[in-house]
């Protein structure tokens, strides 16, 4: 991927209740990237040789994980 490219994570919510405030966290080489908590991430020059992944924590409209 190129510096400046935007990664977008998608998933399918299948909870019993409607989806609420689902949480996202992007990681660089297994370490959380501070402040990167949306479903998109724009690659930086420091990411060129790193593994970039996103964790998703589905939360329903009642606040349940």
pLDDT of residue 29: 98
Query: Where along the chain do its domains lie?
Result: 6-57
List the chain pLDDT tens, one digit each, 65 residues: 799 999 999 999 998 999 999 999 999 999 999 999 999 999 999 999 999 999 999 999 999 88
Q: Say whether 47 sits in a helix, a strand or coil.
A: helix
pLDDT of residue 1: 74
For the whole model, what pTM was predicted?
A: 0.88
The rounded distance, in Å, linking the Cα atoms of 29 and 9 is 17
**Residues 58, 39: contact at Cβ < 8 Å?**
no
pLDDT of residue 15: 87
């Amino acid at each position: 991927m190129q510096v400046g490219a935007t990664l977008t994570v998608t998933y399918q919510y299948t909870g019993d209740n409607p989806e609420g405030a689902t949480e996202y966290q992007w990681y660089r080489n297994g370490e959380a990237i501070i402040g990167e908590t949306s479903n998109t991430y724009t690659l930086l020059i420091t990411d060129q040789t790193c593994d970039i992944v996103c964790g998703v924590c589905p939360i329903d409209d009642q606040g349940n994980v």
